[in-house]
Structure 1
Amino acid sequence: MSQTQDGSELLTGPGAGGLLRSAVGNSGGVLHSWQLDHVDHRPGRSTKALYRTQVSWPELDGPQAPAREELFGASAHIGEREKNLHVAEQTLVMTDGDINVRVWRYPHDPWLPMLPQVCYPDIVGRTLHDLGVHIGADPTQPISIDVVSYRPGRRAVLRAAQGEGAVYLKVMQPHRSGEIVDRHERLLAAGVPVPQVIAHHDGLVVLAELPGRPLARAVIDEGVDSCRAEDLVALLDRLPASMYSLPLRPPWTDSVEFYAGIVASSVPSLGPRLDALVASIRDGLTALEQRMDMRPHDVVHGDFYEAQVFVQDGKVVGLLDIDTVGPGRRADDLACLLAHLSVLADYGNAGRIDRAMQARVEEAIRTWLVTFEHRVDPTELALRAAGVVLSLATGPHRQQEAAWEAATEAIVRVAEEWATAARHAERRRHAQAGSGHGGPAPAPPAAPGPSAPSGGHRPSGPSAPAPPAGRGSIAPAPGSAAPVQQSAPPQRSAPSQAPPQHTAPQEQTAPPQHTAPPQHTAPPEHTAPPASDGGRGEHGDDSPTQERAIPTIRPE
């Protein structure tokens, strides 16, 4: 049965049909069709996959009943133990002696025992009642359930609505929920506008709804007017120094080899470019360590990007997914946001967002980048952004996007452009040092940009060549250092297309009364706490960045 050490070929190739057919048949069903929907691949170690299927159940529905759409999950493990397995009774394990494959029918994820208790409209009502949670004013109204995101074996987020009320249900492995609740309570006490915890149980946290809307939507519609860069930095500075004692969440750049390996395994032709990109990031960070203190001096969000921030009337009103708050470097948070936005902007070159949306996102990146570069070292900011973009290059294959190979190459190109931007920033620094004054240095010669993608569209990453008239570039002009005043808001135009799926928020919830940010003080100790087992790369990745947003599946 095993064809590769980690089961990836088995779970993503034609052989997966046989596994699913056996699992469905063992439960009394008939598999009519299947389609790979999501892949979570850790090269050489394990693979998890999610499948969208059409299945009929003659014994339950009768022989003439139509097939149902069902989700099935599968996990292949070799060389590592299946940790934190909770409910295995409703799974089927198959083995050939070399590799074990576990198959389950959604929502019976063996790592998420609370998932079946919240994904059925009738059952979720009883679950919430037992927790003392009331959604709508009229308890007799039906409850609707929408699946916001689901990462097999890791976590799920669902929205439960009743009338005008709604709550968000965050499902995770049971050992993690107490820690998540504690983080929310500590941040709320410090005045950070994070989700308010309504109730919780082992493996389930119930969260209220935030006001406003995700920055992911606002930046597409409004661009730079969605919020000020200074407010984004101030939001991060409100994270209390007391949380510096939490386990260290390693930066994305610590795992560039890991992410490059995943990408290269799915698109081998990118191997040489990935090797060069990893070397560029590593060499750049090594050089930085020779001239500046690179220890984690700040309290960081850990996965700060546009879907995690809520805005209203041009102001920041909420912050989501604080699972990874802990010690780190401010450049990592700011780079994470820029990295996500640059990938979003590049979607315009593939027609996934229209040109007006692309221009608004690019303007936001250019404006916010100037402010961020006054807070953190510009070279470090660009290198960290390159590392985050590289991690996002695993997404198209993981999420089984249409034309995922081309989408993967496009994201790798954006990462390369950030690496080029880092080299330009370092040249500017050397030029400024050599000039003997702190003013802007002469612009260095522009590095050759990557070739334009098919269709003649230019790259829209941070170091793309000069755009034609009417199009903006993401990066500021080389040598620009002085903050710029925001101009009057441009005329807003209605979007002609919904935002891409990856920008959907993983959860929404309501903050306490918004107060002015307290003065941020640096943590007293500047030594890094030990990394937890939740670290990226070697130990896995619980980041919502890598989650798959899926349409609602109505379990029967």
Structure 2
Amino acid sequence: MDTALDLLTGGAAADLLEAAVATTGGELVDWRVRQVDHRPGSATTVAYRASVRRNGVTRSETLGASVGRSRDGARPGVVTLSDGDTTVAVWQFPGDPALPALPRAFDPAAVEELLAGMGVAPDGRTGPELTIRAYRPTRRAVVEARSASARVFLKVLRPRKVADLHARHALLFGAGLPVPRPLGWSDDGLLVLSPLHGTEMRTAARDGSPLPSPHDVLRLLDQLPAGVCELPRRPAWSESAGHYAAVIGATLPDEAGRAADLAGTIRERLAERGTGTDPTHGDLYEAQIMLTQGRVTGLLDVDSAGPGHRADDLACLVAHLDVLSLVSRADPASAARAARMRRLADEYAAGFVAAPADRGADPRDLSARVAGVLLSLATGPYRVQEREWQAATTRRLDAVAGWLDGTRFAGSRAGRA
């Protein structure tokens, strides 16, 4: 295993966390790895759930540590530890060194002041209720702020990205897409967004509730304005297949060769189409789509919107549904949900292929892009430290192979009808 991975996820991590917690008067009682972001040859960041005793009281805290990010150690509140060869930066949430706005977004008094500046009257003594909805160390966080008279989402990201993301929301909201309305932003990386209404498509799919048809998904993408193509182009998930294969190889050496071979096949198939010029969402899947009685009423996370291949958006949705089918089949209810997700993946893929050429996707191309997204998702079990993540990774690689060789989707063997 990679040296940084071993240091931050192995037994030595306990000494690092103990030393960092001690600087603030705490005592480390217990810890476990919650999330791993490994970039071979670059940087590794790990989040931990720890039990920390302070003044005789033990509480659960989130800690973070990074190797290979030289600027992290220069931030206030970050503890830097070194053995002469490797330097590790350790912090306690919300003091993430790459997200300087996070402490403010998680401070009820500061958020109450922010809401007051937006014309929201204070609730009184209680202040706004703050809930962490997402946290990727050094990458981003989402905090839901709820008061008696208002509800907003505070998206925290690296400062250099906030103005761009605000502009993306403004562009898409102005074009009539059901994205969160941008309510303001700050130089330190805080973006305030309005809430969306509805139910996640993922929840609806699991429950067997009404879902949008493939045509409805295509119609949603039809609404993307031409201005999206003027935004900076970001690589599609499938275009980074080599990177994700390297991550798999570093964490699961037994699958390194197969992952690299699959990435090579994906790269060759993508080269047949060249660079795309369609307006795309960039990360379209069922957790990003909000529904009301089967109708699309919300679209989240437009960070990656830009020019590309529409087929990448379609493939992203299909691949995520397919991954949801790769769950334990130990009980009948779980097996039924898995079968439903697999069927949905097939139905959406078939619907996208059956659409007119200028709106849908070529079956061979779609299959390669689905495989590329699945390869990126094959790093997920290790990243979130899923139980038996090795077997889960192998199952996802099996799915990648199935989409590439046509056994998973028969339409990939033929041309468009």
Q: Give the TM-score of the pair, scaled to structure 1.
A: 0.70
Q: Which residue of 1 aligns with 2:403?
A: 418
Q: Which residue of 1 aligns with 2:70?
A: 82
User: Could you say if the C-alpha distance between residues 349 and 421 of structure 1 is closer, same or farther in structure 2, counting changes exceeding 3 Å?
Assistant: farther
**How far apart are the structure 2 equivalents of 1:52 and 1:360?**
33
Q: Which residue of 1 aligns with 2:115?
A: 128
Equivalent pair of 2:367/2:412 in contact (CA under 8 Å): no
Which residue identity lines up with residue 219 of structure 1 in the other structure?
A: A
Which residue identity lines up with residue 258 of structure 1 in the other structure?
A: H
SS, match of residue 257 in structure 1: helix
Equivalent pair of 2:39/2:247 in contact (CA under 8 Å): yes
Bigger radius of gyration, 1 or 2? 1
Q: In the alignment, does 2:264 pair up with 1:273?
A: no
**How far apart are the structure 2 equivalents of 1:278 and 1:45?**
20
Which residue identity lines up with residue 92 of structure 1 in the other structure?
A: V
Which residue identity lines up with residue 293 of structure 2 in the other structure?
A: D
Which residue identity lines up with residue 195 of structure 2 in the other structure?
A: E
Equivalent pair of 2:120/2:149 in contact (CA under 8 Å): no
Q: In the alignment, does 2:356 pair up with 1:359?
A: no
186, 197, 202: which one pairs with 1:216?
202
Please report the RMSD computed on the Cα atoms of aligned residues, expressed in angstroms.
2.3
Deviations along 1:475-508, one digit per CA (max 9) or x if unpaired, are: xxxxxx5xxxxxxxxxxxxxxxxxxxxxxxxxxx
Q: CA deviation at 1:180?
A: 0.9
Deviations along 1:501-522, one digit per CA (max 9) or x if unpaired, are: xxxxxxxxxxxxxxxxxxxxxx
Q: Which residue of 2 aligns with 1:255?
A: 240
Q: Which residue of 1 aligns with 2:316?
A: 336
Q: Which residue of 2 aligns with 1:48?
A: 45
Q: Which residue of 1 aligns with 2:36?
A: 39
Equivalent pair of 1:211/1:317 in contact (CA under 8 Å): yes
User: Could you say if the C-alpha distance between residues 102 and 297 of structure 1 is closer, same or farther in structure 2, counting changes exceeding 3 Å?
Assistant: same
More helix by share: 2
Q: CA deviation at 1:128?
A: 2.9
Deviations along 1:450-473, one digit per CA (max 9) or x if unpaired, are: xxxxxxxxxxxxxxxxxxxxxxxx
**How far apart are the structure 1 equivalents of 2:203 and 2:121?**
25
Give the 5 Å matches for 1:456-467: none
Which residue identity lines up with residue 207 of structure 1 in the other structure?
A: L
Deviations along 1:69-92, one digit per CA (max 9) or x if unpaired, are: 111110111xxx636x59711011
**How far apart are the structure 2 equivalents of 1:260 and 1:416?**
13
**How far apart are the structure 1 equivalents of 2:74 and 2:36?**
22
Q: In the alignment, does 2:141 pair up with 1:115?
A: no
103, 106, 125: which one pairs with 2:93?
106
Q: In the alignment, does 2:363 pair up with 1:378?
A: yes
**How far apart are the structure 2 equivalents of 1:72 and 1:384?**
35
Q: Which residue of 1 aligns with 2:83?
A: 96
Q: CA deviation at 1:352?
A: 11
393, 398, 401: which one pairs with 2:386?
401
Q: CA deviation at 1:191?
A: 1.0
User: Could you say if the C-alpha distance between residues 403 and 4 of structure 1 is closer, same or farther in structure 2, counting changes exceeding 3 Å?
Assistant: closer
Q: CA deviation at 1:188?
A: 1.2
Q: CA deviation at 1:302?
A: 0.6
Deviations along 1:293-335, one digit per CA (max 9) or x if unpaired, are: 5331201011111111111112111111111110000000000
Equivalent pair of 2:36/2:383 in contact (CA under 8 Å): yes
Question: Runs of 5+ in structure 1 lacking a partner?
Answer: 430-437, 439-480, 482-556
> Which ranges of 4 or more aligned residues in structure 1 deviate by more than 6 Å?
none
Equivalent pair of 1:196/1:207 in contact (CA under 8 Å): yes
Which residue identity lines up with residue 134 of structure 1 in the other structure?
A: V
- More displaced stretch, 155-164 vs 38-47: 155-164
Deviations along 1:101-149, one digit per CA (max 9) or x if unpaired, are: 10111100111111111213344223333x425288x555542221111
SS, match of residue 304 in structure 1: coil
Question: Runs of 5+ in structure 2 lacking a partner?
Answer: none
Q: Which residue of 2 aligns with 1:544?
A: none
327, 337, 361: which one pairs with 2:307?
327
Q: Which residue of 1 aligns with 2:281?
A: 301
User: Could you say if the C-alpha distance between residues 66 and 206 of structure 1 is closer, same or farther in structure 2, counting changes exceeding 3 Å?
Assistant: same
User: Could you say if the C-alpha distance between residues 356 and 406 of structure 1 is closer, same or farther in structure 2, counting changes exceeding 3 Å?
Assistant: same
**How far apart are the structure 2 equivalents of 1:276 and 1:351?**
34
- More displaced stretch, 243-252 vs 102-111: 243-252
Q: CA deviation at 1:169?
A: 1.0
Q: In the alignment, does 2:174 pair up with 1:174?
A: no
Equivalent pair of 1:76/1:100 in contact (CA under 8 Å): yes
Give the 5 Å matches for 1:141-540: 141-163=126-148, 165-202=150-187, 203-222=189-208, 225-286=210-271, 289=272, 293-347=273-327, 349=329, 354-373=334-353, 374=355, 375-421=360-406, 425=411, 427-429=413-415
**How far apart are the structure 1 equivalents of 2:165 and 2:121?**
22
**How far apart are the structure 2 equivalents of 1:115 and 1:86?**
17
**How far apart are the structure 1 equivalents of 2:93 and 2:382?**
21
**How far apart are the structure 1 equivalents of 2:352 and 2:110?**
47
**How far apart are the structure 2 equivalents of 1:306 and 1:245?**
26
Q: Which residue of 2 aligns with 1:25?
A: 22
- More displaced stretch, 210-219 vs 334-343: 210-219
SS, match of residue 91 in structure 2: strand
User: Could you say if the C-alpha distance between residues 352 and 383 of structure 1 is closer, same or farther in structure 2, counting changes exceeding 3 Å?
Assistant: farther
Q: CA deviation at 1:11?
A: 0.4
Equivalent pair of 1:181/1:205 in contact (CA under 8 Å): yes
Q: Give the TM-score of the pair, scaled to structure 2.
A: 0.92
Q: Which residue of 2 aligns with 1:545?
A: none
User: Could you say if the C-alpha distance between residues 86 and 102 of structure 1 is closer, same or farther in structure 2, counting changes exceeding 3 Å?
Assistant: closer
SS, match of residue 146 in structure 1: strand
Equivalent pair of 2:20/2:90 in contact (CA under 8 Å): yes
Deviations along 1:21-60, one digit per CA (max 9) or x if unpaired, are: 1111222221111111111111122110111111122xxx
**How far apart are the structure 1 equivalents of 2:344 and 2:160?**
39
Equivalent pair of 1:169/1:204 in contact (CA under 8 Å): yes
**How far apart are the structure 1 equivalents of 2:412 and 2:22?**
61
**How far apart are the structure 1 equivalents of 2:412 and 2:377?**
25
Identity across aligned pairs (percent)?
Answer: 39
Equivalent pair of 1:117/1:127 in contact (CA under 8 Å): no
Q: CA deviation at 1:271?
A: 2.1
